[in-house]
Amino acid sequence: MSPNQCLVWKGTFSLIVEAWHDTNETSRSDDSLIARMTKQSIADVGGPWVDEEQRWGGPGGAHLRLSYRVTCAAHYYGSGCEVLCRPRNDSFGHYTCSPAGEIVCRPGWTGDYCSKHALWRGGCHRNLSPTCRGVPTLAAAKNPAVRQQRRLSPAIQSSLSRRPAPTTGLTTS
Protein backbone atom coordinates (compact mmCIF):
# COMPACT_ATOMS: atom_id res chain seq x y z
CA MET A 1 0.00 0.00 0.00
CA SER A 2 1.48 3.34 -1.04
CA PRO A 3 1.40 6.32 1.34
CA ASN A 4 -0.97 8.16 -1.03
CA GLN A 5 -3.58 5.37 -1.14
CA CYS A 6 -5.11 6.48 2.13
CA LEU A 7 -5.57 9.96 0.58
CA VAL A 8 -7.30 8.81 -2.61
CA TRP A 9 -10.92 9.98 -2.85
CA LYS A 10 -13.19 6.95 -3.25
CA GLY A 11 -16.28 8.96 -4.19
CA THR A 12 -18.55 8.20 -1.23
CA PHE A 13 -18.85 10.03 2.05
CA SER A 14 -20.84 10.42 5.25
CA LEU A 15 -21.55 13.90 6.57
CA ILE A 16 -22.80 14.63 10.08
CA VAL A 17 -23.62 18.20 11.10
CA GLU A 18 -24.79 19.01 14.61
CA ALA A 19 -26.18 22.26 16.03
CA TRP A 20 -25.72 22.72 19.77
CA HIS A 21 -27.15 25.27 22.17
CA ASP A 22 -24.24 26.58 24.23
CA THR A 23 -25.43 27.36 27.74
CA ASN A 24 -22.04 28.28 29.19
CA GLU A 25 -18.48 28.84 28.04
CA THR A 26 -16.69 26.35 30.28
CA SER A 27 -18.39 22.98 30.04
CA ARG A 28 -20.11 21.05 27.28
CA SER A 29 -22.16 19.02 29.78
CA ASP A 30 -24.81 21.77 30.00
CA ASP A 31 -25.14 22.17 26.22
CA SER A 32 -28.12 20.66 24.45
CA LEU A 33 -28.31 19.25 20.94
CA ILE A 34 -30.74 21.29 18.82
CA ALA A 35 -30.50 19.39 15.55
CA ARG A 36 -28.47 16.75 13.73
CA MET A 37 -28.29 16.36 9.98
CA THR A 38 -26.80 13.20 8.47
CA LYS A 39 -26.08 12.51 4.83
CA GLN A 40 -24.52 9.65 2.90
CA SER A 41 -23.85 10.34 -0.74
CA ILE A 42 -21.56 10.16 -3.76
CA ALA A 43 -19.61 13.16 -5.09
CA ASP A 44 -16.90 13.63 -7.69
CA VAL A 45 -13.77 15.70 -7.07
CA GLY A 46 -14.22 19.16 -8.51
CA GLY A 47 -17.96 18.71 -8.95
CA PRO A 48 -20.49 21.48 -8.41
CA TRP A 49 -21.54 22.84 -5.03
CA VAL A 50 -24.43 20.85 -3.54
CA ASP A 51 -27.00 22.68 -1.42
CA GLU A 52 -28.76 20.86 1.42
CA GLU A 53 -31.45 22.02 3.81
CA GLN A 54 -33.20 20.27 6.66
CA ARG A 55 -36.12 21.59 8.79
CA TRP A 56 -37.39 20.53 12.20
CA GLY A 57 -40.56 21.51 14.03
CA GLY A 58 -42.68 22.87 11.17
CA PRO A 59 -42.67 26.31 9.52
CA GLY A 60 -41.54 28.22 12.64
CA GLY A 61 -39.00 25.58 13.73
CA ALA A 62 -35.30 25.30 13.25
CA HIS A 63 -33.70 24.78 9.89
CA LEU A 64 -30.14 24.08 8.79
CA ARG A 65 -28.85 25.05 5.35
CA LEU A 66 -25.40 24.17 4.03
CA SER A 67 -23.43 23.74 0.81
CA TYR A 68 -20.58 21.33 0.15
CA ARG A 69 -18.29 20.11 -2.57
CA VAL A 70 -15.22 17.87 -2.81
CA THR A 71 -11.80 19.31 -3.66
CA CYS A 72 -8.31 17.89 -3.40
CA ALA A 73 -5.99 18.96 -0.61
CA ALA A 74 -3.15 21.31 -1.57
CA HIS A 75 -0.66 19.77 -4.01
CA TYR A 76 -2.94 16.79 -4.88
CA TYR A 77 -4.51 16.44 -8.33
CA GLY A 78 -6.57 14.02 -10.40
CA SER A 79 -10.07 12.57 -10.25
CA GLY A 80 -9.27 10.83 -6.98
CA CYS A 81 -6.64 13.28 -5.69
CA GLU A 82 -4.07 10.55 -6.24
CA VAL A 83 -1.42 12.68 -8.01
CA LEU A 84 1.03 14.53 -5.77
CA CYS A 85 2.91 17.50 -7.22
CA ARG A 86 4.50 20.00 -4.84
CA PRO A 87 6.16 22.94 -6.65
CA ARG A 88 9.78 23.59 -5.71
CA ASN A 89 12.67 25.82 -6.60
CA ASP A 90 15.71 24.40 -4.81
CA SER A 91 18.54 21.90 -5.31
CA PHE A 92 16.00 19.05 -5.68
CA GLY A 93 14.19 20.64 -8.63
CA HIS A 94 12.91 23.83 -10.25
CA TYR A 95 9.28 23.38 -11.30
CA THR A 96 5.64 24.28 -10.88
CA CYS A 97 2.61 22.04 -11.40
CA SER A 98 0.06 22.06 -14.19
CA PRO A 99 -3.70 21.94 -13.37
CA ALA A 100 -3.46 18.14 -13.90
CA GLY A 101 -0.52 17.80 -11.47
CA GLU A 102 2.21 17.37 -14.08
CA ILE A 103 5.67 18.82 -13.45
CA VAL A 104 6.33 21.97 -15.52
CA CYS A 105 9.98 23.06 -15.54
CA ARG A 106 10.76 26.67 -14.72
CA PRO A 107 12.56 28.60 -17.49
CA GLY A 108 16.17 27.49 -17.78
CA TRP A 109 15.67 23.99 -16.33
CA THR A 110 15.11 20.54 -17.81
CA GLY A 111 15.03 16.85 -16.83
CA ASP A 112 12.55 14.63 -15.02
CA TYR A 113 12.60 16.84 -11.92
CA CYS A 114 13.89 19.97 -13.68
CA SER A 115 17.23 19.76 -11.89
CA LYS A 116 19.47 20.13 -14.97
CA HIS A 117 20.38 23.48 -16.51
CA ALA A 118 18.86 23.85 -19.96
CA LEU A 119 21.35 24.91 -22.62
CA TRP A 120 20.75 28.01 -24.73
CA ARG A 121 22.27 28.92 -28.08
CA GLY A 122 26.04 28.99 -27.94
CA GLY A 123 26.25 26.25 -25.29
CA CYS A 124 25.75 28.44 -22.25
CA HIS A 125 23.16 28.24 -19.52
CA ARG A 126 20.01 30.36 -19.75
CA ASN A 127 19.78 31.30 -16.10
CA LEU A 128 23.38 32.35 -15.41
CA SER A 129 23.40 35.86 -16.90
CA PRO A 130 21.17 38.28 -18.83
CA THR A 131 23.28 37.77 -21.96
CA CYS A 132 25.26 34.85 -23.22
CA ARG A 133 27.83 35.68 -25.89
CA GLY A 134 25.69 38.66 -26.83
CA VAL A 135 22.53 36.54 -27.29
CA PRO A 136 19.77 37.47 -24.83
CA THR A 137 18.68 34.56 -22.68
CA LEU A 138 15.08 33.46 -22.24
CA ALA A 139 15.06 35.02 -18.77
CA ALA A 140 16.29 38.35 -20.16
CA ALA A 141 13.84 38.22 -23.08
CA LYS A 142 10.94 37.79 -20.66
CA ASN A 143 12.19 40.46 -18.23
CA PRO A 144 10.56 43.84 -19.06
CA ALA A 145 13.31 45.75 -17.19
CA VAL A 146 16.02 44.19 -19.37
CA ARG A 147 14.03 44.87 -22.56
CA GLN A 148 13.44 48.49 -21.49
CA GLN A 149 17.12 48.94 -20.62
CA ARG A 150 18.11 47.80 -24.12
CA ARG A 151 15.64 50.20 -25.73
CA LEU A 152 16.75 53.22 -23.68
CA SER A 153 20.51 52.75 -23.71
CA PRO A 154 22.19 53.14 -27.13
CA ALA A 155 25.55 52.40 -25.50
CA ILE A 156 24.38 48.94 -24.52
CA GLN A 157 22.91 48.38 -28.00
CA SER A 158 26.16 49.55 -29.56
CA SER A 159 28.33 47.31 -27.39
CA LEU A 160 26.13 44.30 -28.13
CA SER A 161 26.25 44.90 -31.86
CA ARG A 162 30.08 45.36 -31.85
CA ARG A 163 30.78 42.09 -30.06
CA PRO A 164 32.71 39.72 -32.29
CA ALA A 165 30.87 36.60 -33.39
CA PRO A 166 31.90 33.43 -31.57
CA THR A 167 34.66 31.56 -33.38
CA THR A 168 34.21 28.00 -34.43
CA GLY A 169 37.88 27.04 -34.44
CA LEU A 170 37.89 26.63 -38.24
CA THR A 171 40.25 28.67 -40.37
CA THR A 172 39.83 29.61 -44.00
CA SER A 173 42.63 30.25 -46.44
pLDDT for the residue 125: 53
Asked, for residue 140, whether it belongs to a domain, the answer is yes
DSSP the chain: --TTGGGS--SEEEEEEEEEE---SS-STT-EEEEEEEEEEE--BT---EEEEEE-SSTTS-EEEEEE-B-PPTTEESTTS-EE---EEETTEEEEE-TTS-EEEPTTEESTTS-EEPB-GGG-BTTS-SEETTEEPHHHHH-HHHHHHHHH-HHHHHHHHHSPPPP-S----
Spatial distance between the Cα atoms of 122 and 109, rounded to a whole number of angstroms: 16
Domain final residue, candidates 68, 83, 113 = 68
Overall domain count for the chain: 2
Per-residue pLDDT 10s for the chain (173 aa) are: 344 445 688 999 999 998 888 776 666 666 788 888 899 999 999 999 999 988 877 888 878 888 999 999 999 999 899 999 999 999 999 999 999 999 999 999 999 999 998 875 555 555 554 444 444 445 554 555 444 444 433 443 443 444 444 444 444 43
Q: In sequence order, what are the residues at sequence separation of 6 or more whose Cβ sits closer than 8 angstroms to the Cβ of residue 62?
A: 19, 34, 35, 55, 56
Asked, for residue 23, whether it belongs to a domain, the answer is yes
Asked, for residue 133, whether it belongs to a domain, the answer is yes
Asked, for residue 85, whether it belongs to a domain, the answer is no
Q: In sequence order, what are the residues at sequence separation of 6 or more whose Cβ sits closer than 8 angstroms to the Cβ of residue 125?
A: 108, 117, 118, 119, 132
Domain final residue, candidates 68, 88, 112 = 68
pLDDT for the residue 33: 83
pLDDT for the residue 50: 93
Domain final residue, candidates 49, 68, 87 = 68
pLDDT for the residue 92: 93
Asked, for residue 83, whether it belongs to a domain, the answer is no
pLDDT for the residue 157: 40
Spatial distance between the Cα atoms of 110 and 139, rounded to a whole number of angstroms: 15
**Which residues face 36 on adjacent strands?**
18
Asked, for residue 171, whether it belongs to a domain, the answer is no
Asked, for residue 99, whether it belongs to a domain, the answer is no
Range of the domain at 155: 126-163
Give, in degrees to the nearest 5, the angle at Cα 105 between 121 and 7.
170
